[in-house]
Amino acid sequence: MEEDYRLLSNYDENKFASHGSCSGFEWFAYLNHYDSTIFKESSDTQKEHGRKNHRFGFRKQYFQAINSNTQFRKRVKYPFVVATGQFAPGGYPLDCFVDALRSFFRTDDIIRNLPNETPIAQVYKGKDLILPLVHADFEALDFMKFKAEQYLKMGCRSVTALFIYRIKPGVGEKYPSPENYPYFSEYDFAGSIDSMDSNEDLLGALVKGLEESRNKNVYVGGL
pLDDT at 209 over 50: no
Is 136 within the bounds of a domain?
yes
Is 221 within the bounds of a domain?
no
Into how many domains does the chain fold? 1
Is 68 within the bounds of a domain?
yes
Based on its alpha-carbon atoms, the radius of gyration of the chain, rounded to whole angstroms, reads: 18
Report the C-alpha gap between 148 and 173 in whole angstroms.
22
Positive or negative torsion for Cα 190, 32, 16, 137: negative
Is 222 within the bounds of a domain?
no
Q: What is the helix (H) or strand (E) element at residue 130, kind and residue range?
A: strand 128-136
Low-confidence winner among 20-34, 113-127, 168-182, 196-210 (lowest mean pLDDT)? 196-210
User: Helix (H, G, I), strand (E, B), or coil: what is residue 149?
Assistant: helix
Residue 202's pLDDT band (boundaries 50, 70, 90)?
Answer: low
Mean pLDDT of 118-131: 96
pLDDT at 138 over 70: yes
Mean pLDDT of 50-56: 77
Residue 176's pLDDT band (boundaries 50, 70, 90)?
Answer: very high
Is 38 within the bounds of a domain?
yes
Is residue 145 within 8 Å of residue 24, measured between CB atoms?
yes
pLDDT at position 193 is: 45
Is 52 within the bounds of a domain?
yes
Residue span of the structural domain in which 127 resides: 2-216
